[in-house]
A = this chain, B = another copy of it.
Amino acid sequence: MGIFSKTCEYAMRSVFFIAHRTSDGKKVGIKEISLGIDSPEHFLAKILQSLSKQDIVKSAKGPNGGFYMDEANLKRPLADVVKAIDGRKIFTGCGLGLSYCSEINPCPLHNDFKIIREKITKMLEETSIENFNENLNLGITSLKK
């Protein structure tokens, strides 16, 4: 386990992939996405169902259907994807697992940890999916292996 759950890792990779692959206005199917980000197809389907319900991505059934994102979706911060899957713990939780983090009853890690949490929050809140994707579009960054 890293910072994010595996489910959340798949979610972020798929969102980047969809954004990248549908910039031409077309849609992309689950099979292609799961191949492109190296994830189990049916598990990813569940994740995308959830992201779709939460309006992180859009979907269309039937022939020529698939997943895509509109302008508003692309402008959302990556934080929204993380919140949709892993919840808010990474943004507000105690590093030692105390039931809530507070200045009044801080754990030994608190002073150092809150700074790190702020940096993570900043990274995820202040950059849009679109933005993270710029280098991917330029072929500089990768989503596989």
Instruction: Given A2-B89, A3-B90, A112-B127, decide whether A96 and B143 contact each other with a Cβ distance below 8 A.
Output: yes
A120 touches B (CB below 8 Å):
yes
0/1 interface trace, chain A 1-32, chain B, CB 8 Å (1 if under): 11111100110110010000000000000000
Chain A interface residue count, Cβ-Cβ cutoff 8 angstroms: 45
A141 in complex: contacting residue of B13, B93, B110, B144, CB < 8 Å: B110
A84 touches B (CB below 8 Å):
no
A61 touches B (CB below 8 Å):
no
Report Cα–Cα, A144/B96, bound state, in Å. Answer: 10
Q: Using CB atoms, name the residue of chain B closest to A127.
A: B112
Please give the residue numbers on chain A whose beta carbons come within 8 Å of chain B beta carbons, in ascending order.
1-6, 9-10, 12-13, 16, 86, 89-90, 93-99, 105-110, 112-113, 115-116, 119-120, 123, 127, 132-133, 135-136, 140-145
